[in-house]
Amino acid sequence: MYEDLISLEAEADTVSSWQLGVIPGLLQTGEYAREIIRATAMSEAVEARVDALVEVRLARQVVLTREEPLALWAIISEQALRSTSEVEGMMYEQLGRLLAMGKRPNVNVQVLPADAMLHVGQMGSFSVLGFGPHVDLDVVHAEGLTSALYVEEPDKVAAHREAWQRLTSAALPVGSSADLITEIRKNT
């Protein structure tokens, strides 16, 4: 299943991602990836492969810096930014990575504040992978604790696009999001 996501990201032109509880994988540092994989591992098989899974997650990120980079627009809940860890400095480094990547012309990062009104994103995280003018090829990826869901039906993909548009409207603008990330980072 993970191979499917890697393949889709490599071929996609855009990813529009909403993350309720974690930093998107394409923006994670190695240490954050390691800790989130450990924290969510629900089997000994995953626990035994943490380092390999981290390497794969980091290797996926090349799509953001290749010659024709993927355009990523990530909306992240404030809750995910305020996560804590026993690993000293992990969130400071992770938030710094978000700020640095958000300066790239192909990456936008918005934060949905913790005090936002009730919103469609409370139903769960998802990403819409776009394939340029071929909207009939667009795919929604929703990752769960033990599996991933890929949605290809045009009406369901359209519903997720509409949900994502609502989230962009509810989230802080990109500049204000960077300011909030900077403020949270100072307090970690």
For residue 151, the model assigns a pLDDT of: 97
**CA of 82: how far to CAs of 19, 26, 111, 117, 169, in Å?**
13, 19, 11, 19, 22
Would you state the pLDDT for residue 23? 98
What is the C-alpha separation between 9 and 70, in angstroms, rounded? 8
The total of other beta-carbon atoms located within 10 Å of residue 11's CB is: 13
Cβ atoms of 28 and 92 closer than 8 Å: no
Which residues in the chain show pLDDT less than 50? none
d(CA 167, CA 5): 23
Which burial class, exposed, middle or buried, applies to 145 when counting CB atoms under 10 A from its CB (0-12, 13-18, 19+)?
Answer: exposed
pLDDT digits 0-9 by tens, 176-188: 999 999 999 999 9
The pLDDT value recorded for residue 1 is 57
Q: Could you tell me the domains of the chain?
A: 2-186 (3.30.870)
Each residue's pLDDT tens digit, 38-61: 998 887 877 788 999 999 999 999
pTM, rounded to two decimals: 0.94
Residue 155: CB partners within 8 Å, gap ≥ 6? none
Tell me, what's the pLDDT at 110? Answer: 98
pLDDT given for residue 58 in this prediction: 96
